[in-house]
Structure 1
Amino acid sequence: MKYIIAIALLCGILYSCKKVEEVRYQAADNVYFNLLSDTTKQIHTDSIVYSFALFPDKAVDTVFLPVRISGSRIKTDRKFKIEVVDSATTAVAGVHYKPLDESYTMPADSGITRVPVILLNTDPELVNKTVRIKFNLVATPDFQVDYRQWDTLHVIFSNRLEKPLWWNIWIGELGVYSRVKHELFIRVSGTTELPATNSDGTIIPKVLYFTRRFKAFLADPVQWVKDNPDAGYIITPADNGNYYFYSPANPDKKYLLELNPADNRYYFRDENGNRIV
């Protein structure tokens, strides 16, 4: 009798197991902007800063908006859309950038793509002003846009130097930012940019090489030019015991080097008239 009861209970358990259905959570696939200021810590940022002043020979250049999916990769292409938010955009389509496409493709079996944005250096006023474009991801039948903190991205650009994100990272070495100081850094440091993170100890010696080269220049520009003849810069006399620092290849762009009698040192001045230290 006990044997029959045991068999009956086992059959009941097996039957009830067949009736249990697997429950899975199915979230819609999403797209978001995946622009990182620190790749090691996966820290997101919402702005790309660009200047044609770094590339004086270019009339056109391209920046890329990184778009990533949250969800499943599939074996077919899918479409997503990006729109320009007119109320937060000062750049003019066709003047400062080429208009966007109607939609963009997330390739099959891929979880990330880069959308090209073509910037134009045809407006002479870009020397005096900075313009911006605000981009916003838009839902499509293929993708939702549920990550609201990462659904917008800005491109900020001009034909003058803009304060880069890495300047604040290394402000202890570089000091207070100014455009003139930035220009001088590019001309004498040996690099146009520094890493956007200080969390990697292996890069610090290289960064210190660039920043200390720059500091040596600011401390004594005359001696620096003598010690670095291959850099291609010269210093020539100006009025009142001052000097000009410039490249013979571009003599129209000169930096005035003024003597400060109080400490008998020479200083450059920034766009606001402050001494650069």
Structure 2
Amino acid sequence: MKKILITGVFGLVCFSACEKAVEQVYTSPDNIYFDFNDPENENERIDSIGYSFALYPEKGTDTVYLPVRITGMRKSVDRAFRITVIDTSTTAVAGVHYKALEPEYIMPADSGQVKVPVILYGTDALLLEQSVRIKFRLASTADFAVTNHSYDTAKVIFSNRLEQPVWWNVWAGELGAYSRVKHELFIRTSGTTEMPATPSGEVVPMALFYSRTFRSFLNDPFAWVAANPGKGYTIAQDGTGKYEFFSISNPDKTYPLELNPADNKYYFMDENGNRII
């Protein structure tokens, strides 16, 4: 009988402890945070997104997404949260480089996460010279608190220019001297956005295919356009009798062609005024 009594008291204590633990979980305020993960290292947190319109010549505008997650309980109703722009850490201009944020965003019913769209504009000439950034901060609402300040900010850094990649020097014998305009044309016509950084026997044939496709384009861009109608590019006169190469879906981004009378060939010019060969 004594043993039974002790067991009963012990069970009551355990029940009370469990009941208290459950109460603590359920009464905690629901929070939100930015849930970025490094795609190359799941254990490493990142807080920014990088983007270049130069990689996507057919686009004058594009959308990146900020991942927002809750801590707390999912609920069967829509709930509102806010994202603000930290002006002192932002160099992009709303309406020029990105669409202004909405007053609030919705965490859908029964959801624990949502991706918030940020619409970027790539037409400003400044983006050809430098990157701009937007820094965001989550803000509390009646539905969500923001208490983890290590995870309440995020950045989007973007431009319309490229930087010389490591692999360019590896294949310089095929590609020639680097320029940003040449790099852009390579991406538009070769069939790839990058080349292997190490020229092993397995990758050389494919790398040579890409580089020689590009060389063929430079040698006769008119023939390349005619042979690749599905690529979405054209060459047209600019109204003064000169020619321009551009994506049909983004005609504002053009690459002028200049005739060289010495060999009667057309050449693109790089950002320094040199012929691209």
**TM-score of the superposed pair, with normalisation by structure 1:** 0.62
Instruction: Give the aligned partner of residue 182 of structure 1.
Output: 183
Q: Is the partner of 1:75 in helix, strand or coil?
A: coil
Instruction: Give the aligned partner of residue 240 of structure 1.
Output: none
User: Aligned pair in 2 of structure 1 residues 247, 91: CA closer, same or farther (>3 Å)?
Assistant: closer
Match of 1:215 among 204, 211, 215: 211
Instruction: Give the aligned partner of residue 13 of structure 1.
Output: 7
2:146, 2:205 → 1: CA distance?
42
TM superposition shift of 1:107: 0.7
* Structure 2 contact 67–114 (Cα < 8 Å) conserved: yes
* Structure 1 contact 188–231 (Cα < 8 Å) conserved: no
User: Aligned pair in 2 of structure 1 residues 51, 17: CA closer, same or farther (>3 Å)?
Assistant: same
Instruction: Give the aligned partner of residue 69 of structure 1.
Output: 70
* RMSD (Å) for aligned C-alpha atoms: 4.8
TM superposition shift of 1:14: 0.8
TM superposition shift of 1:16: 3.5
The yes-or-no answer on 1:112 pairing with 2:113 is: yes
Per-residue deviation, residues 229-271 of structure 1 (Å, max 9, x unmatched): 724799xxxxxxxxxx984988x62478x9xxxxxxxxx9964
* Structure 1 contact 49–162 (Cα < 8 Å) conserved: no
* Structure 2 contact 189–217 (Cα < 8 Å) conserved: no
User: Aligned pair in 2 of structure 1 residues 118, 227: CA closer, same or farther (>3 Å)?
Assistant: closer
Instruction: Give the aligned partner of residue 138 of structure 1.
Output: 139
User: Aligned pair in 2 of structure 1 residues 226, 96: CA closer, same or farther (>3 Å)?
Assistant: closer
TM superposition shift of 1:84: 0.4
Instruction: Give the aligned partner of residue 47 of structure 1.
Output: 49
TM superposition shift of 1:119: 2.9
TM superposition shift of 1:117: 2.0
TM superposition shift of 1:115: 1.4
TM superposition shift of 1:30: 3.0
> Quick one: which amino acid aligns to residue 216 of structure 1?
R
User: Aligned pair in 2 of structure 1 residues 225, 53: CA closer, same or farther (>3 Å)?
Assistant: closer
User: Aligned pair in 2 of structure 1 residues 222, 36: CA closer, same or farther (>3 Å)?
Assistant: same
1:222, 1:102 → 2: CA distance?
48
* Structure 1 contact 62–116 (Cα < 8 Å) conserved: yes
Instruction: Give the aligned partner of residue 227 of structure 2.
Output: 230
Q: 5+ unaligned residues in a row in structure 1: which ranges? A: 1-6, 199-203, 235-244, 259-267
User: Aligned pair in 2 of structure 1 residues 179, 44: CA closer, same or farther (>3 Å)?
Assistant: farther
Q: Percent identity?
A: 37
Q: 5+ unaligned residues in a row in structure 2: which ranges? A: 235-242, 261-267
**TM-score of the superposed pair, with normalisation by structure 2:** 0.62
Q: Is the partner of 1:68 in helix, strand or coil?
A: strand
1:177, 1:78 → 2: CA distance?
51
Structure 1 range deviating more: 95-104 or 117-126: 117-126
TM superposition shift of 1:10: 1.8
2:272, 2:228 → 1: CA distance?
27
Per-residue deviation, residues 128-187 of structure 1 (Å, max 9, x unmatched): 4432211112233433434444432222234x22459xx67x779778985334302212
